[in-house]
C-alpha cells in the first residue's frame, strides 16, 4: 500500500514538473526578441507630465505635440499629423492633432495600437472642491498608454516586426462633460471618420488607457467583448502564457465608452486594455494623477504583453 502511495506522489510530482516545463517553453517561445524596458517607459511618461497638463489649446499641449512628433521620427516612424478643430460639448473649438506613426509599411497584415495623449481640463472627481477647476496632470489617464507605445516604437526602431504596426495617438479624448458620453473621444471619432473614408484596414486594434496605476487589474471590458470577443480571449490567453494572469484577470469587467468604440465603428475589431471595473482608480480625474502614483512594473507588464503581440503575432 505504501509503495502505491509513493508511486502516486512521484507520478503527480512528475506531471507537475512536466507541465511547468511545458509552460516555461511556451513562455519562452512567446517572448519578444527585444526587451521592453520599465525604466525607459517610465521616463517617457515623466517626459510627458513635465510639460504639464496637455489640454488642447494650451502651450503644454503644443509643446508635447512637438516632442511626440520628434520622438517618433527619431524612432524611424512614418508620421502623419491629422489636424482638426473639433467642437466640444460646451461649444469650444479644440485645435486637435491625432498622431499616426506607421512601421513596416510594406506589410499587408497590420495591427493598430492606440492611446490618447491629451489630459483632462478639470479635476471633476477630486474630493477637494478647491481642486475641481484645476487641470489633470494625466500621468495614468493619458501618459501611461502613450509611454508604452513610445517604448514599443523605440524597440521597433532597433528591430522591425514582420507585421505592419500603426500607432495612433488620439487627441481630445478627455474634454467631455461629466456624463462620460459621446462628448468624449473627439479625436478618435474624427480618426474613425477618416479611416472609413480612406478604407483603412487592420486585423485588429488595441487601445491602452490607464495602464500604469498602482494596484491595477485588467478585466475583459464589455464593449471589447461585444465587438471583438475572439481577440479579447486571445490577448488574455497570451497574457496568461506570459505569466501575467494575475494582472490580466480572466473575468468580465465593466462597460466603458472609450476610443476603442470608435475604432470598431470604422470596421476594425478593437479592444480596450483599461483599469476599469465598474469604477475607476482613486486618482482618476483628480489632482493625484501624477507619476508618484504610477507603478513602473505595471507599465512594463502591459508593454511586455503588447511587445509579444507585435513580434509573435496572433
114 three-class SS = strand
pLDDT score of 278: 86
Please say whether the structural domain 36-311 has been given the CATH code 3.40.630.10. yes
Contact by Cβ (8 Å): 94, 178: no
Q: ∠228-270-23 over CA atoms, to 5°?
A: 70
Distance, in Å, from the CA atom of 275 to the CA atom of 208, rounded to the nearest integer, reads 9
pLDDT score of 79: 98
Strands 270-274, 204-209: pairing kind: parallel
Domain assignments of the chain as residue spans, ordered by start: 1-30, 36-311
Distance, in Å, from the CA atom of 265 to the CA atom of 210, rounded to the nearest integer, reads 22
pLDDT score of 178: 77
Ramachandran quadrant class, 95 (left: phi over 0; alpha: psi -120 to 50; beta: rest): beta
pLDDT score of 3: 54
pLDDT score of 179: 75
Distance, in Å, from the CA atom of 260 to the CA atom of 271, rounded to the nearest integer, reads 6
The pLDDT tens digits of the residues spanning 23-52 come to 688 898 999 999 999 999 999 999 999 999
pLDDT in tens, the chain (314 residues): 555 555 565 656 666 665 666 668 889 899 999 999 999 999 999 999 999 999 999 999 999 999 999 999 999 999 999 999 999 999 999 999 999 999 999 999 999 999 999 999 999 999 999 999 999 999 999 999 999 999 999 999 999 999 999 999 999 999 999 777 899 999 999 999 999 999 999 999 999 999 999 999 999 999 999 999 999 999 999 999 999 999 999 999 999 999 999 999 999 999 999 999 889 999 999 999 999 999 999 999 999 999 999 999 99
Q: Which residues contact 89 (CB under 8 A, 6 or more apart)?
A: 175, 176, 177, 183
pLDDT score of 85: 98
Amino acid at each position: 500500500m505504501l509503495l502505491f502511495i509513493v508511486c502516486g506522489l512521484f507520478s503527480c510530482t512528475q506531471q507537475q514538473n512536466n507541465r511547468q516545463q511545458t509552460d516555461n517553453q511556451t513562455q519562452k517561445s512567446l517572448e519578444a526578441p527585444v526587451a521592453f524596458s520599465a525604466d525607459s517607459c517610465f521616463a517617457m511618461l515623466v517626459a510627458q507630465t513635465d510639460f504639464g497638463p496637455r489640454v488642447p489649446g494650451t502651450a503644454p499641449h503644443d509643446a508635447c505635440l512637438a516632442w511626440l512628433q520628434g520622438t517618433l521620427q527619431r524612432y524611424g516612424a512614418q508620421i502623419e499629423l491629422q489636424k482638426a478643430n473639433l467642437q466640444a460639448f460646451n461649444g469650444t473649438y479644440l485645435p486637435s492633432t491625432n498622431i499616426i506613426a506607421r512601421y513596416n509599411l510594406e506589410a499587408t497584415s497590420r495591427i493598430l495600437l492606440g492611446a490618447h495623449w491629451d489630459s483632462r481640463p478639470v479635476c471633476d472627481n477630486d474630493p477637494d472642491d478647491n481642486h475641481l477647476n484645476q487641470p489633470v496632470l494625466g500621468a495614468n489617464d493619458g501618459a501611461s498608454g502613450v509611454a508604452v507605445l513610445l517604448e514599443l516604437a523605440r524597440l521597433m526602431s532597433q528591430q522591425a516586426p514582420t507585421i505592419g504596426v500603426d500607432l495612433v495617438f488620439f487627441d481630445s479624448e478627455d474634454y467631455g462633460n461629466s456624463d462620460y458620453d459621446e462628448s468624449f473621444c473627439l479625436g478618435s471619432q474624427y480618426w474613425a471618420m477618416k479611416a472609413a473614408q480612406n478604407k483603412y484596414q487592420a486585423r485588429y486594434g488595441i487601445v491602452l488607457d490607464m495602464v500604469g496605476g498602482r494596484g491595477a487589474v485588467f478585466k475583459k471590458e464589455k464593449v471589447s467583448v461585444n465587438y471583438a470577443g475572439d481577440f479579447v480571449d486571445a490577448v488574455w490567453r497570451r497574457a496568461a502564457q506570459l505569466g501575467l494572469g494575475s494582472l490580466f484577470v480572466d473575468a468580465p469587467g465593466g462597460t466603458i465608452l472609450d476610443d476603442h468604440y470608435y475604432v470598431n465603428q470604422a470596421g476594425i475589431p478593437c479592444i480596450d486594455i483599461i483599469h476599469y471595473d465598474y469604477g475607476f482608480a482613486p486618482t482618476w480625474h483628480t489632482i493625484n494623477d501624477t507619476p508618484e502614483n504610477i507603478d513602473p512594473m505595471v507599465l512594463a507588464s502591459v508593454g511586455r504583453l503588447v511587445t509579444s503581440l507585435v513580434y509573435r503575432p496572433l
